[in-house]
Structure 1
Amino acid sequence: MNGTLVVFASKQEFNTIFPQISAVVASTTPQSIDNRFDVAVCGVGMLDFSANLAYLLAKNRYERVIQVGICGAYPNRGIEICDVVRVDTDVVGDMGIQTREGHFVAWKDASGEDGVYAGESPRFLTIALASIRSVAGVSVNCCTGTKYLALRRGGLFKADVESMEGAACFAVCRRFGVPAYQFRAVSNIATDRDISTWKIPEALMALKEQVLDNL
């Protein structure tokens, strides 16, 4: 076992970068990559990801966890498709209440809690990883599909990118006392949904070159 555990959410993301390793096996048992770090697949969405990451951390002792994957960038944030970012803070973006008038009230406003989950300080990273752009993230169960919702979420949470697991990773690792980092490559702009503009394989290759090759 290595000191660093690199976790993916989806088997598709994992298979694109590590086609030589069974994603099914990596979903149950961390796999070593050249004795540099271990890799595992924890599942899509905050629920599966949390349960599986907690299971792995309960069975194995790691010095740090690094979450990697793709994300959508909110409009007007100066972020382009295939950019690689380091998500240093994350919140749950669709947790809250609905008023009788139909308005959404975020949990941070309904409860008075900020609900922010943070990663470890980048000062403990290599220069290459610490130099990657820092952004704020939002984790959601339902991905954005309209420009209106993208601008709403980006403005409400002062966020740059959107994923489905980032806050869960930070929360679980904090509970286990394990430093955590989150790196993502932008596969699409979170706006009116048009998958013809997405560049998932290209984004994942950028993630490999800028993050995994520098661990």
Structure 2
Amino acid sequence: MKILVTAATSLEIQPFIHFLEHNSQQVSNHKYRLSDIEIDVLIAGIGMMHTAFSLGKYLSLHSPHVAIQAGIGGTFRHDWPLGTVVAIEKEHLADLGAEDNDQFKDLFDIQLWQASQHPFTGISLVNDFKCWPLQQNLPLANGISVNLVSGSAPTIARLEAKYQPEVESMEGAAFHYACLQENIPFIQLRSISNYVEIRDKSKWQIPQAVKNLNEELTNTIQQLSHHYSLATKNF
């Protein structure tokens, strides 16, 4: 069984890479074997452009049974403590479109895309987790992906009014799109490093977010290893 683990930067999943280096067999560069599963680690780059290119290149050569994207992100929900790890259920492309005077219109608004055209459900890239092999126990979140991280009150207010987002990242929509197009069961794990507000990095908690993310990622991989080991024995 082959699992793809992808992240924008190695910093976000360095503890997980250390886990693989000490607990699995390294088959080749960025490829590991843990029990009955093969794990490919893909550092895709920051933003949707890099993610789309890296995933497209990888998926043209490989067919993973499941895919995991792991990363940190911001949240619009101040009732979620920093460091909370969530699974993204829906993704939206939140800055792809046109400005119409003082309004932003996405590609659905200007009818360059039609609602529910494949692989969209409505205007969302939805993970229903129906094919995900494990029970999904993390809080589910509504995500937006942007090229420009939000840091002003008008932008934040516009995004909240239009998409009701809970989590913001720069890569999630590209990952959802690729997996939905290729019919690959997937999960996007996001650990909250900051609140989406006027930019103040002194309030961010990146080390704690990375720690919690990697604990969840490692636990997920171990559960998948156990799941596929049982499946192989029962085959």
TM tier relative to shorter chain: 0.7 to 0.9
Over 3 Å counting, the alpha-carbon distance change for 1:122 and 1:134 in structure 2 is: farther
State the 1:155 CA deviation.
Answer: 2.5
Q: Show the counterpart of 2:170.
A: 164
Q: Normalized against structure 1, the TM-score is what?
A: 0.85
State the 1:167 CA deviation.
Answer: 0.7
> What letter is aligned with 1:118?
V
Compare CA radii of gyration and give the structure with the larger one: 2
CA contact (8 A) 1:14 1:41 kept: no
CA contact (8 A) 1:17 1:205 kept: no
CA contact (8 A) 2:150 2:156 kept: yes
Correspondences of 1:122-161 after superposition (within 5 Å): 124-127=132-135, 130-161=136-167
Q: Show the counterpart of 2:198.
A: 192
User: Structure 1 residues 153-162 or 109-118, which shifts more?
Assistant: 109-118
Over 3 Å counting, the alpha-carbon distance change for 1:120 and 1:54 in structure 2 is: farther
> What letter is aligned with 2:51?
F
Q: Show the counterpart of 2:46.
A: 44
Q: Partner of 2:161: helix, strand, or coil? A: helix
Which sections of structure 2, spanning at least 5 residues, go unmatched? 22-27, 116-121, 222-235
Q: Normalized against structure 2, the TM-score is what?
A: 0.78
Give, in whole Å, the separation in 2 of the partners of 1:143 and 1:70. 13
After superposition, give the CA deviation of every residue in 1:123-146 in whole Å (9 maximum; x if it has no partner).
73433xx11000110000000112
Give, in whole Å, the separation in 2 of the partners of 1:139 and 1:32. 30
After superposition, give the CA deviation of every residue in 1:16-65 in whole Å (9 maximum; x if it has no partner).
5435889xxxxx95422635433211111111101111111111121011
Correspondences of 1:1-215 after superposition (within 5 Å): 2-15=1-14, 17-18=16-17, 30-32=30-32, 34-35=34-35, 36=37, 37-76=39-78, 78-99=79-100, 101-111=101-111, 113=115, 114-121=122-129, 124-127=132-135, 130-215=136-221
Which sections of structure 1, spanning at least 5 residues, go unmatched? 23-27
Give, in whole Å, the separation in 1 of the partners of 2:107 and 2:54. 25
Q: Partner of 2:209: helix, strand, or coil? A: helix
Runs of 4+ in 1 over 6 A off after TM superposition: none
State the 1:177 CA deviation.
Answer: 2.2
State the 1:116 CA deviation.
Answer: 1.2
RMSD across aligned positions (CA): 2.3
After superposition, give the CA deviation of every residue in 1:152-190 in whole Å (9 maximum; x if it has no partner).
212311211000111101111222221221110000001
> What letter is aligned with 2:4?
L
